[in-house]
Amino acid sequence: MKFFIIVRTGFFAVVLFVVCSVAAQDTDTIITYSLDEFVVSARRIQMDVIPVQTLSGQLLDNLSAHSVADALRYFSGVQLKDYGGIGGLKTVNVRSMGSQHVGVFYDGIEIDNPQNGVVDLGRYSLDNIEAVSLYNGQKSAIFQPAKDYASASSIYMDAKIPAFGDGKNHNVKFTFKTGSFDLINPSVYWEQRLSDKLSSSVNLDYTNSSGKYKFRYKVDNKLDDRGGYDTTAVRQNGDIRLFRLEQALFGKIKDGEWKTRLYFYASERGYPGAVVKEEPGRFKHEDRQEDRNIFLQTSIKKRFTDSYSTQLSGKYAYDYLYYESDTLIQKLRNTYMLHDFYISSANLFEILPFWTANISVDFQWNKMNSDIKEFIYPQRWSGWAAAATSFDLHRLKIQASLLTTLIHETTREDKKDIQRDWRKLTPTVMASWQPLQDEQLFLRAFYKDIFRMPTFAEMHLAYMGSLSSYLKPEFTKQHNIGVLYSKNVTPSLYMQGQVDTYYNEVTDKLLAVPGGINFRWTMMNVGFVKIKGVDMSLSATHKFDKDLTVDAQLTYTWQRAQDYTPITVESDTITYKGQIAYIPRHSGSVILSTVYQSWNLSYSFIYTGERFTASANIPRNRLQSWYTSDLALGRSFRWDKTAMKATVEVNNLFNQAYDVVLNYPMPGTNFKFIFNITI
């Protein structure tokens, strides 16, 4: 608590200093002449070999989205797990392969979490994000670190790069958000030109919320004589206090560039438990968590000759987590500390004008400490070596890569060092073809074979059984065929559509069996999953005149993710070929955004169809479909040289009662008011 009092005081002091410093700068005495503003724009058609979805620019700014997790809801093929409230854990699952198979990259370097393999995307604000992109398979560009090839799908968060107008050396944006859940959220984003070749950005963010909201909980019990119930309650223990600070430097060198980012995050939050009709006093639902996360990452990219370029990257991260929980089974007061060190070297060779190759080598070291009695202090050394090649034959592009993964792990058990090793070789092949010279029509396909290692939590924090774990990696095979078509229908109307069909297999799928205590479940390799699906998206931009522009985006996903685990006992027949947990067959989204002069209006709609809480697709496990509508209205205006914008948001417009995760009710209709000042 004292930490956040100090942080809050310091935050407002920094904000005051920034605003006063900018306002107090001497006025430039050089005579200037103002010209009427004009904009030159063109739409660049990019032939991505791999399926990609991107939200960026004005469309991203107009959405009712304030974290990366919020933005990803609008992508096809994505299932977001949200445990409710401002501070609830938010993870993403792409094409039903599991959250641990999704690589999350910030400024080109992966955000790693070897403890549980899941990145909480609610931690990352959109204040300093220029674009959010989702790649199925891997990024199309081969000039990347070896570790970028090691995920089944990838999320890339591209940070804003400082840009300054003529004669301007700074940009300062102050944002204040308030609204439902007693939300107080000020933030500052400050860009500064330090020299012709060096600039910096600083982003400070403070959030305080009680997390309290009313919800309706209704159960129609038709299975036995216990009856159902319908009640209205207030969500408790969902409060959060967080502080985030990011400082980045961007430099230019001859035939290259470099950037460095320092990130600090601290939070204290409550985790409200599942809402169940319970015996009084059985579950307190007062779990608490404290986080401290800091990382420093840097990268440099340089072109030495016309045929050779290199990129060096490095990162160190430290995570501190304190978790406390009281149940009838056990009281937990545990601390976890995680160290992460990573370096990478990528080397691009242009062999012929149409033929390039990349050789990348990465190394990573992870160590986990804890105050748990008889903890085994796992350490993991990981190495990746990737060889990739790309052929650009005008209308035909072919890419292939081969990834070698070497992993060595040690643990301390019964005063003995236990060592384990894994070696894997995994290929990827992808191609894209433009059959017609004058039409932006592209056919594409890819195959990727990849795996993921069990996390530290899965390997060594099982509640039942011995400390030793012999879990096998979880393998996935991905097959994709798709088509992309875009066209400038008229000078003022642009449309783009894409359809991808895919078939995935997951072998030795890791299953967590609840043991009643967070972090410490029983883990096992069980199951074989087949996933068939279709992702579709359609977008259009119509500029009616210089004052009115309308953007529209539609996505739809059909997915059949079935449990094909071999039947070993009679009870398994109920799960065989069942849709796996929390995967809907039908889902989709709609975004409509309008900009008229200084006004902007956006409406977004998200639909998730019927799901089941387990592979046993029986009535007791069925979850109803749900939908939400969000509305945002904003207006921009200027006062002297200061730009301002006021926005009001209404989320869950029709007060839909729904659960994303069973027994974790989401908020009803709620409001948010946002005010921006840009100097």
How far apart CA 593 and CA 601 sit, in angstroms, is 6
Q: Is residue 35 part of a domain?
A: no
How many structural domains compose the chain? 1
Q: Which among 470, 411, 60, 88 is positioned nearest to 273, based on CA atoms?
A: 88
* SS3 assignment, position 355: strand
Q: Is residue 589 part of a domain?
A: yes
Q: Is the pLDDT of residue 38 over 50?
A: no
pLDDT > 90 fraction of the chain, expressed in percent and rounded: 49
Q: Is residue 47 part of a domain?
A: no
How far apart CA 553 and CA 570 sit, in angstroms, is 47
Spatial contact of 35 and 206, defined as CB atoms under 8 Å apart: no
Q: Which among 428, 447, 346 is positioned nearest to 109, based on CA atoms?
A: 346
**Boundaries of domain holding 651:** 2-25+57-678
341-366 mean pLDDT: 96
- The pLDDT-based confidence of 32 (bands split at 50, 70, 90) is very low
Tell me the pLDDT tens digit for each residue of 109-136.
Answer: 998 876 666 787 778 888 888 888 999 8
- The pLDDT-based confidence of 17 (bands split at 50, 70, 90) is very low
Q: Is the pLDDT of residue 258 over 80?
A: yes
Q: Is residue 36 part of a domain?
A: no
CB atoms within 10 A of CB 261: 20
* SS3 assignment, position 150: helix
Q: Is residue 125 part of a domain?
A: yes
Among 190-199, 625-634, 655-664, the least confident range: 655-664
Q: Is residue 156 part of a domain?
A: yes
How far apart CA 143 and CA 124 sit, in angstroms, is 26
CB atoms within 10 A of CB 283: 15
Tell me the pLDDT tens digit for each residue of 410-426.
Answer: 988 777 888 889 999 99
How far apart CA 366 and CA 343 sit, in angstroms, is 12
Q: Is residue 583 part of a domain?
A: yes
Tell me the pLDDT tens digit for each residue of 70-107.
Answer: 788 788 888 777 666 666 667 778 888 877 888 889 98
Residues in the chain: 679
Residue 89: per-residue pLDDT: 66
**Which is more confident, 51 or 196?**
196
Q: Is residue 650 part of a domain?
A: yes
CATH for 202: 2.40.170.20
Residue with structure tokens 């933030």?
A: 187
223-235 mean pLDDT: 65
